[in-house]
Structure 1
Amino acid sequence: MVAILGISAFYHDSAAALVVDGHIVAAAQEERFTRIKHDAGFPHNAVEYVLDEAGLTLDQIDHIAFYDKPLLKFERLLETYVANAPRGFKSFRTAIPIWLKEKLFQKSLLQNELKEISPGTKTRDKLLFAEHHFSHAASAFYPSPFEEAVVLTLDGVGEWATTTVAIGRGSQLDIVKELHFPHSLGLLYSAFTYYTGFRVNSGEYKLMGLAPYGTPKYKDLILDTVIDVKADGTYRLDQSYFDYATGLRMTNDKFAAVFGRPVRQPDTDQLDQFHMDIAASIQAVTENVVLRMTRALAAEYDIPNLCMAGGVALNCVANGHILRDGAFKNLWIQPAAGDAGGALGAAQAAYHKELGHPRIVDNTKRDAMRGAYLGPMFEQSDIDARLTRSGAVFETLQDDEVVEQTADALAQGKAVGWFNGRMEFGPRALGGRSILGDPRSPSMQKLLNLKVKFRESFRPFAPSVLREDVGEWFDLDDDSPYMLLVDQVRDARQREMSEGEKALFGIEKLNVVRSEIPAVTHIDYSARIQTVHADTNPRYHQLISAFKQRTGCPLVVNTSFNVRGEPIVCTPEDAFHCFMGTDIEWLVVGNAVLRKEQQDPALAEDYKNKYELD
């Protein structure tokens, strides 16, 4: 047996993953245990969980793989400041003490953290370090269903690389092209996230969701000023518009002058049509760059398969364009595409690349991720005990009763908390820790945003649809198990808008019913689709099938089981607290069913103000 522990930590989205004999046993983000969104600390809880899941102790682990190389990152920091001196001295003065105290001696820091988990285990000789982008590439290629693939990684920055291309064949994976800091598509998107008043490293998906409300009127201005894009998708950013390389902010006054407005202050400045048009414009630029890149790579390498990872690979609108473009016949994206997935990639890189173990692709399965259901699950006896200690009133039903009664609740328009099986790995809830609703309801999107999620009203929701029925409702007729592809609602399911409705602008468009499934139809008739498969999540598939039997509709609204600013729930207690702090009306935890009207009102929490807004 060869057991490899992968770790990502100390930037954002810390995580741990465990690979045993090449098989992914478990993976989880630290935030789910600490309840701190994007927790960057050492993942003590996640490490302990993945070890417990495998029944192993730390001294039984053969290697511990870290997801990046701190010394290379420090080299980039120093070279950047030297090249730009004296500009950025304030930022340099802030960063250097942290590096000298902690990050420069990360091997010792990791050893000390691991000692807290297993004091008697010597870990120094077990530690391996992978380059950041190689960890991403490994997480994309090794679990994929392809024997051979082009692997594209796009993010903010690793050590030096911001964009890399790798070629994977069998167990071999080699990076063949790189673009380096400060030229970064991920940082460009984050700069516009900052400019429109959202938080960097967490608000990028809000910018993507806002884009359809605007028109890309600034696209050419962006391409003419801040970014120079070549025919093959390679690019350079004009650094005179940005401060992220040396400053403590993403953009500067010159950037603001180009677009005619200062940075939006989220506490005082309302989102308006300008910000929607900015969002539409940077989304269009991102799609332009990525499509140029993928077309050039397909032509150069003549390999039909593309794998993707890195934070930009979570841009599911761009991903949908890549798939429809057809330059690559097949597309597979790592569901934990951000830094959390680096823990998994580092472990797989150690097993296949460093140790030379063969990779076996099982063509009977979609991939090796097991549906991304890699986190903790709870036995029913444990669930019942935990809920009882929390003061919950519930009844424990048989499997069929749970499915039938929950399908009834959905058909009646109730908001349902669904806690089922193992927790998902990655940022998306996929029917393990989800809040569900009826997609046919014109009011469900507004209800979930304002009374359950406590978040911005413009944010869209995703459909979970039976794989066998997806082509009847959406233009996509392919697997999308990880909610990483956007496509259009089929014309036959759309509703023709009146002339008055078509004339509406911006957020006024929100409440227009535009299809048979208005709760999951964005204002441009698009949807972020999750296909549900009987082999990876049989109970979720059964629930949606039961809902279809009642309504003729083979899909449900699916959003993550949390409120804005809160990590997705992990334990039965987390689920109960969120249930009691929101307008969720029906909660299923395993086979335990809870109805809001039966609960003690004294247990209700002020969830609206419990978490810092993201």
Structure 2
Amino acid sequence: MYILGLTTMGDAAACLIKDGELIAAAEEERFSRIKHHVGFPYKSVEYVLSEADIQFKEVDHIGLYWKPWVVGQRILVTLNTLPQSWAAFNSRRKRGLEQVGGHYKQMFFMQQHLKETFGDSKFKFHYLSHHLCHAASCFFVSPFDHAAIFTVDGTGEDCTTLCARGEGSRIHTLDRIKLPHSLGQFYSAMTNFLGFDMFQGDEWKMMGLAGWGKPEFYDYFIDNILIPIGKNKFHFNTNLLDHHLAKDYIFNLEFMKVVGPNRKPDEEITQAHRNLAATAQRVLEDIVIKLLNWLYEETQETNLCMAGGVAFNSLMNGRIMTETPFKNFYFQPAAGDSGCALGACYQIWNSKLNKPRNFVMNHAYWGPGFSDAECQRVLDQKGLKYEHFSEETLVRKVAQVLAEGYIVAWFQGRMEWGPRALGNRSFIANPTDPEMREKLNHQVKLREWFRPLAPSMLEEASCEIFGTDRYDPFMITVFPVVEDMRAKIPAVVHIDGTARPQTVRKEINPRYWKLIKEFECLTGIPCLLNTSFNIQEPIVCTPEDAVNTFLKSQVRYLVLGGCLIDRDQTSSENKLIKNFF
């Protein structure tokens, strides 16, 4: 039995499972090359069907991650803003009309659209709750038979936060928090207040900036903006900080009298901006920890599964792992809306069809993969010189150039599912070079100086780097690095002495593990610097994408499968920069 899951608004994606086993999953942005692609995921659907080698008519069930008729709470929230602010009311009204005439209308006719696009079929179509899809995406593919479940994002149909308990093939809802009280919308509003762009996913930037500041305005925020209520509620005061107005960079004067004016996108980042980022981060963390402590009291579960866009907040996740009573954790690697395509599949398979669970998602490599022959064909078409090596020779040569201080564009196997590059679509480098962060951020990635970079480390080295066993294959948590290691790997240690690791297990990604192991043999350091293989674009998907981005980057070395490309041997004019990169 084949089940197809879809997300069709921001972060459009498709996922396919067969008899409860995940076959393929991918975000549309990787094919369209448009970040956070909005719209139907045509190419993603084509890809997952091709990966399974089936035709559309063989799909038995299709799930959509949204119930478009659930609009009552949104209408009520919009009407309630009218007495306080015409601007806020009008912003919500315009957004609502755009959605009804656009995304929502398409969703109502989704079954017909699918048949017109991919051919007639007898599939059964399911409209599914957004937050239950988030919950299914983390619990049903986790290693736990039972767990507490916490999903948190900007909003679904009307719910922004879900507390639940999972048991077997069932998810039992314990509590919901509805609009306008949203942790995700609070964080996005502050992202725009600091001059970034929530529509481009710039919440990452505010999280990165937070480590450079102090929570100077904490008391004001907790008393006036994001206010805790009892053990399991909070109030987001949209009169002082409105998410919809923030989209247009419009902010409340009373709020700015306390925290200062909002930063314009081209303005210098000051210490005040850093402190505001730190304040927003700390308030978010404290509210979430409060809610999770309540969830533990209600469930007495030691296992916790999390999803939703806010679950990408790795700083928060590190505190959750050390400051809540939970002992075991599963953070979904595609925690945002794209991951709801996965959740839609398992919500149908486990909950709707009442099938027993038979799959654990212990890695994120569910996208397209390419053979060495396909990679060589692209290199030949581009006129790039390359050498093809056995795996043993390849990892030895690449480890050597990494030890010498070069950056390598590394393209292997199947593409990662979710926004993290996990060693298959990565720029990799030597973490011992204190200038490497600046080189990658400024000269290669073309992004802000404060953006952190992460280590990919051997699973066996966890105690050496963090002082205790830490297993995070999805690079979604932050932990303190032991004092002795901080000076040894400065390029991947944050300003506060923490790092966001990917632990690499040999049996899951053997070639990447061997590369890190070879690098350790040369340098004594059991990790590499790893950042996503992209430059102001979605992460590369195909060999063509990889070559195009490599040529833009001026990085010297590219590895496509077993092929090693040295830019100096390809174009003599690039020899001028070889010593820098």
Q: TM-score range by the shorter chain?
A: over 0.9
Deviations 1:509-551 (A, max 9, x none): xxxxxx1111101111110111001111111000000000111
Choose the corresponding residue for 1:281, options 279, 282, 290: 279
Q: 1:236 to 1:250 in 2, by over 3 A?
A: farther
Larger displacement relative to structure 2 (385-394 or 452-461): 385-394
* Distance in 2, Cα, partners of 1:208 & 1:92: 27
Residues 14 and 31, structure 1, Cα contact 8 Å, conserved in 2: yes
Matched, 1:91 2:91: yes
Consecutive unaligned residues in structure 1, runs of 5 or more: 362-367, 495-514, 605-614
Matching of residues 391-406 of structure 1 within 5 Å: 391-406=383-398
Q: 1:104 to 1:8 in 2, by over 3 A?
A: closer
Residue of structure 2 in register with 1:41 after alignment = 39
* Distance in 2, Cα, partners of 1:82 & 1:469: 55
Q: 1:601 to 1:172 in 2, by over 3 A?
A: farther
Residue of structure 2 in register with 1:503 after alignment = none
Residue of structure 2 in register with 1:516 after alignment = 488
Cα deviation, residue 68, structure 1: 1.2
Residue of structure 2 in register with 1:607 after alignment = none
Residue of structure 2 in register with 1:555 after alignment = 527
Residue of structure 2 in register with 1:502 after alignment = none
Consecutive unaligned residues in structure 2, runs of 5 or more: 576-581
Q: How large is the RMSD of aligned CA atoms in angstroms?
A: 1.9
Residues 56 and 121, structure 2, Cα contact 8 Å, conserved in 1: no
Cα deviation, residue 370, structure 1: 4.3
Cα deviation, residue 601, structure 1: 7.0
Q: With structure 2 as the length reference, what TM-score do the two structures score?
A: 0.94
* Distance in 2, Cα, partners of 1:186 & 1:96: 18
Residues 189 and 246, structure 2, Cα contact 8 Å, conserved in 1: no
Cα deviation, residue 300, structure 1: 2.2
Residues 132 and 158, structure 1, Cα contact 8 Å, conserved in 2: yes
Matched, 1:572 2:540: no
Q: 1:393 to 1:222 in 2, by over 3 A?
A: same
Matched position secondary structure for 2:427: strand
Q: 1:334 to 1:250 in 2, by over 3 A?
A: farther
Residue of structure 1 in register with 2:333 after alignment = 335
Residue of structure 2 in register with 1:54 after alignment = 52
Cα deviation, residue 257, structure 1: 2.3
Residues 416 and 435, structure 1, Cα contact 8 Å, conserved in 2: yes
Deviations 1:369-401 (A, max 9, x none): 241100000011111112211222211111111
Over 4 Å off, 4+ runs:
245-248, 601-604
Residue of structure 1 in register with 2:140 after alignment = 142
Matching of residues 169-318 of structure 1 within 5 Å: 169-201=167-199, 202-244=201-243, 249=248, 252-254=251-253, 256-267=255-266, 269-318=267-316
Q: 1:7 to 1:279 in 2, by over 3 A?
A: same
* Distance in 1, Cα, partners of 2:542 & 2:572: 21
Larger displacement relative to structure 2 (443-452 or 591-600): 591-600
Q: 1:102 to 1:413 in 2, by over 3 A?
A: same
* Distance in 1, Cα, partners of 2:98 & 2:564: 48
Residue of structure 2 in register with 1:481 after alignment = 473
* Distance in 2, Cα, partners of 1:595 & 1:470: 33
Q: With structure 1 as the length reference, what TM-score do the two structures score?
A: 0.90
Q: 1:255 to 1:415 in 2, by over 3 A?
A: farther
Deviations 1:172-206 (A, max 9, x none): 11222100000011111111111111111511111
Residues 470 and 477, structure 1, Cα contact 8 Å, conserved in 2: yes
Cα deviation, residue 493, structure 1: 2.1
* Distance in 2, Cα, partners of 1:463 & 1:196: 28
Matched position secondary structure for 2:165: strand
* Distance in 1, Cα, partners of 2:149 & 2:558: 40
* Distance in 2, Cα, partners of 1:410 & 1:176: 50
Matched, 1:424 2:416: yes
* Distance in 2, Cα, partners of 1:246 & 1:261: 17
For these two proteins, the number of residue pairs brought into alignment is 571
Residue of structure 2 in register with 1:507 after alignment = none
Choose the corresponding residue for 1:322, options 320, 326, 329: 320
Residues 152 and 306, structure 1, Cα contact 8 Å, conserved in 2: yes
Cα deviation, residue 117, structure 1: 4.2
Matched position secondary structure for 2:503: strand
Matched, 1:537 2:534: no
Matching of residues 61-72 of structure 1 within 5 Å: 61-72=59-70
Larger displacement relative to structure 2 (151-160 or 288-297): 288-297
Larger displacement relative to structure 2 (329-338 or 227-236): 227-236
